[in-house]
Structure 1
Amino acid sequence: MPVKVSVVIPVYNPGVYIEDCVTSLLGQSLPPDEYEVIFVDDGSTDGTPARLDALAATEPRVTVVHQENSGWSGKPRNVGIEAARGEYVMFVDNDDYLGDEALQRMYDYGMAHGADVVVGKMAGKGRGVPVELFRRNHPRATVENAPLIDSLTPHKMFRRAFLDDIGLRFPEGRRRLEDHVFVTEAYLRAANVSVLGDYVCYYHVRRDDASNAGFQRFDPGGYFKNLREALDVVERYTEPGPLRDRLFRRWLRVEMVERMRARRLLALPADYRRELFEEMHQVVVERFGPGVAAGLQPTQQVVAALITADRYDDVEAFAEWEAGIALTAVPEHVAWEDGVLRVVITAEYTSAGEPMTFAADTARTSLDGPPEDLAAAVAWVGADTVSRFGQATADLLVRERASAAQYFQPVEFTREEVPAGDEGRVRLVLRATAGIDPGTLTRAGLWDTFVRVKLGGWTKECRLGPAPLAARPTPSPALVGGHLVLPYWTSPHAHLALDLDRATHRLGLGTLAPGDVTVSGGRLRAPLPLHVPRDGTEVSLRLTSPHTAHDVPATLSPQGSGALLEAVLPLGDLRGSTWRVSLGAPGPRFLPLPLALRAGTGGVHVVRTARPSALRRLVRRARRKLGTALGRTAARLRARAARRR
């Protein structure tokens, strides 16, 4: 079979952090003979070279190239390109990993749309990743119609023939931002770029020891020298004007202004802050015209103007003011509606822990130069924020705790100016109604809810909660979208979260009493405290005796605030035994109901099963935890043994 994808991984002393990468590469849904994995060992001094050689000896799809240390990732990636046989080349870092279907989905999507570059949705585990770019799929994206320029890491698929045709390779040597140079040119010269936003393809991981190359402090002089090379690429392939200014704005915003804001600046040593500032000032004065900063958000415009004017002390003072601004998002109502968890939210910014207020009648003006002082900067930002309140937006994201995979949920919102005192000031409040559809969530786990607000010069995100006590009653568990969903409030902060397909306790099934259950004409009916969609859902019952078991089709249909369980019992198979009853749930697994059936000549009788004693429950819990730990250890040992084979 032709090789569809070549995965290139530059490797340097990853230690144990390479294991998740290896596992994800070998576990891809793309058939093994349709992709290859090329590790380029850049002079590692740990046990990695031997580990990779042993892997290649047992895995035909794995190749290992060893070379002397080159100092950075550019040369190993170029060596990997030359060795690649695939139609597409995918770059992965040795401490990151892929989604199980990443290669297949990205390859198919790229081929379907004739893409030279395929950008797969990213999740950041302790690392920042683009958010807006992956709001939806973009089959034909450009730097003009999509925020491609927000994603300049190399973790994408590139058509090999495209790279060869334009002679594109990574800059080599001990340098920073080699990926910016490479990816920017690819975007600007590609016939088409496709963005796959509905499946997490790439997990960008921060190591526990924070030793990823991107987290190491850099030499400002060398860093901004390399940044200028990325700007050179933009100048080479664009004309002066709005597009070039918009692309340049990415480096001004991300690499300069955002480093000089709020806690990010204040966390740095004082001498290092000033060194960064001086290098930024030189780049801004040399390379950026007024149109670049003009498109920034208000707070960013203030910082950019102060950098241009070489006013470091005022940048620091503005950062101290911004550090006190936060987002709050309060869930005022949470309830199931036909399989969707409906959440009513109130969101606004706070300053120093109090609701942020703004002068209502101040006219907005353009920022023609740096503000006179901190008070003038704050006043200008406030006036601009009020005048553009009509552009403020709110989003709800649901994020899986273990993997950081996240998905936007549908939101409708209104904007409200709320009077604040007698001085003509107002609070800017967003009131939103969001619907969480469990069917859009892709994996079992714990999912946290986040609110993301764009207002004035800020884009901020926070956990949803805590809820006022009046709104805190927990919605019932639900069987919707093929998932068993348990909404709950985290402890101690009372943030809204969802347990997807994992919960066995707190489901309320233990409240079912035998008197609530009827068996008539062979049909069992029982009310359960579960929400189900309007059309109901198909489930199953497992009837278990000491010697055998029967799985019986069943249905759950809405009844009051819960659901009615119905099943036709195989009476002829039940006589002469007592049968414990369990409800089939996604997983697949079965949840015990607190009842048993005794079938005899007089019909079927429903009895309550004995509740385990407190000691017995404690022993069972300990066994479950021990079994889980042993199971994980065994799985790791099996995986390790399989890799050695």
Structure 2
Amino acid sequence: MTRAQPDVTVIIGAYEAMPYLVECLASVEAQTLDPSRIEVVAIDDGSADGTGDYLEEFAARAPMPVTVIRQENSGGPSGPRNVGLARATGRYVFFLDADDRLGAEALERMVAMADRNGTDVCLGRVEGVNRKAPRSMWGANQDRTDVFSSNIKFTLSAQKLFRRALLERHHMRFDESLWTGEDALFTMEAYLRADGVSIVADYTCYYLVGRDDGKHVTKSGGYQLRFDSARALMGLLERMVPPGPKRDVLMVRPFQVTLLPQFGPVFLRQDEEIRRTKFDLAEPLMDAYWNEGVAQRLRVHERLRLQLVAMRRPDLLVDVLEFMKAKHEPRPVLKKGGTQLYLAYPGYRSRKDGVPDRVYLAEPREAKAYPGWRQTPAETFLRGATRKVRRRLGRLRKRGTGPHGRVAA
């Protein structure tokens, strides 16, 4: 008798995962989704701590079919995930890291959400355990959204539910040449190719566990790997998204999350050779991708630091970082009747330094925190009009009609 196709293949790449693997597998066994609708493909990536043996023990007693593959160490998470994808048969795949764990209802809720809405990717709420987790995208459940109109660009880890047909149609696999950021590349491509993305925000589907043995991939590796990661993601966005506001919205992510930390407090602790190398690595990225559309979407201190990198001004960057390290607050400078607010970080209005004034200009979301600033009448009108449009569309959705009286699809 031929076994029915499972709903979801859980792919677990494991390297030196004990004892965290015990709770990880227990969370798979505890899923409320019927075991007949789940399959597990687990890859022991050359562990020497008993990880492979424990996977074999689990396979012998698990209520769902489990395939264990043991291989030589591949050096990173991409290889095992690709091996798992090649063996998967489920309608969906879910990548579970061996030191993390699932909420009991995770797979049931995510599969139901994706099936109900016909979406290709489903995100489940993530909670950090001894480490930080993304937060800005969990405000409410979303049946259908996309990467341009939500904050999902700030969660690019691979721990999502992906429709396997999408991955196979576009021959999507993890880039094994990257030692970090490979999941960001894969997930961003899936977002861009997906026919809709769903979000389960009202239930913790995934527990992101911080290891205390220093073996987390994101905690290891030299700074050069971060530049490799940024270069790969920026290149993907260049290939897949035409120039303009949509690309700028997404380009914020590699600049803010990957590049900017390299020019934060850690920069002050590094010697001149490393500082010079960082500027050299950043130069082609700044020349190719840094523009006003990206800059205006950042806070002043973020925009200023990256602008100084683009200008190759490590001296002034150090001044700004020392200013921030001392917890100084920049002097607010109001102009044009209080409708423009500049934050006077080091270099402001200095002819010698030559940083354009616009770099110090706070956008409304940042400026509103300062007394005396006010929006221009045009901005106030547009924001009010936008709120009215949102309210009207919300009422129409509740009634099941579109804006022209048609039944909403």
Distance 1:212 1:268, change over 3 A: farther
- Do structure 1's residue 65 and structure 2's residue 69 form an aligned pair? yes
Quote the Cα distance in structure 2 between the aligned partners of 1:69 and 1:184: 26
- Do structure 1's residue 254 and structure 2's residue 257 form an aligned pair? yes
Query: What are the within-5 Å matches in structure 2 for residues 8-47 of structure 1?
Result: 8-47=11-50
Query: What are the within-5 Å matches in structure 2 for residues 203-214 of structure 1?
Result: 203-214=207-218
- Do structure 1's residue 177 and structure 2's residue 181 form an aligned pair? yes
- Do structure 1's residue 292 and structure 2's residue 281 form an aligned pair? no
Structure with bigger RCO (C-alpha 8 Å, 6+ apart): 2
Does the residue aligned with 1:134 lie in a helix, a strand or coil?
coil
Does the residue aligned with 1:25 lie in a helix, a strand or coil?
helix
The answer (yes or no) to whether the contact 2:226–2:259 under 8 Å persists in 1 is no
Q: Residue 90 of structure 1 is aligned with which of 94, 107, 117?
A: 94
Does the residue aligned with 1:15 lie in a helix, a strand or coil?
coil
**Hey, what does 1:281 align to over in structure 2?**
283
The answer (yes or no) to whether the contact 1:140–1:194 under 8 Å persists in 2 is yes
Distance 1:24 1:276, change over 3 A: farther
Structure 2 residue identity aligned to 1:30:
L
Query: What are the within-5 Å matches in structure 2 for residues 382-401 of structure 1?
Result: 384=361, 391-392=368-369
Q: Residue 4 of structure 1 is aligned with which of 3, 7, 11?
A: 7
Distance 1:10 1:389, change over 3 A: closer
Give ranges in structure 2 of 5+ residues lacking alignment.
Answer: 374-409
Does the residue aligned with 1:124 lie in a helix, a strand or coil?
strand
- Do structure 1's residue 49 and structure 2's residue 52 form an aligned pair? yes
**Hey, what does 1:224 align to over in structure 2?**
227
Give the C-alpha shift of residue 104 in structure 1: 0.8
Q: TM-score, normalised by structure 2?
A: 0.80
Relative to total residues, which structure has the larger helix share, 1 or 2? 2
Quote the Cα distance in structure 2 between the aligned partners of 1:138 and 1:374: 49
Percentage identity across paired residues of the two chains: 33
Query: What are the within-5 Å matches in structure 2 for residues 230-269 of structure 1?
Result: 230-261=233-264, 263-266=265-268
Q: Deviations over 1:293-318 (max 9, x none)?
A: 23211111111110101111222221
The answer (yes or no) to whether the contact 2:299–2:363 under 8 Å persists in 1 is no
Q: Residue 198 of structure 1 is aligned with which of 185, 190, 202?
A: 202
Quote the Cα distance in structure 1 between the aligned partners of 2:96 and 2:201: 18
Query: What are the within-5 Å matches in structure 2 for residues 139-538 of structure 1?
Result: 139-173=143-177, 175-220=179-224, 222-261=225-264, 263-266=265-268, 271-325=273-327, 351=328, 358-359=331-332, 361-362=334-335, 364=340, 371=348, 384=361, 391-392=368-369, 417=371
The answer (yes or no) to whether the contact 1:71–1:174 under 8 Å persists in 2 is no
Aligned positions, number: 363
User: CA RMSD, aligned part only?
Assistant: 3.1
Quote the Cα distance in structure 2 between the aligned partners of 1:148 and 1:86: 24
**Hey, what does 2:397 align to over in structure 1?**
none
Q: Which structure has the larger Rg over C-alpha atoms? A: 1
Distance 1:374 1:121, change over 3 A: farther
Give the C-alpha shift of residue 290 in structure 1: 3.4
Does the residue aligned with 2:93 lie in a helix, a strand or coil?
strand
Relative to total residues, which structure has the larger strand share, 1 or 2? 1
Q: Deviations over 1:617-639 (max 9, x none)?
A: xxxxxxxxxxxxxxxxxxxxxxx
Give the C-alpha shift of residue 189 in structure 1: 0.7
Quote the Cα distance in structure 2 between the aligned partners of 1:390 and 1:371: 17
The answer (yes or no) to whether the contact 1:56–1:64 under 8 Å persists in 2 is yes
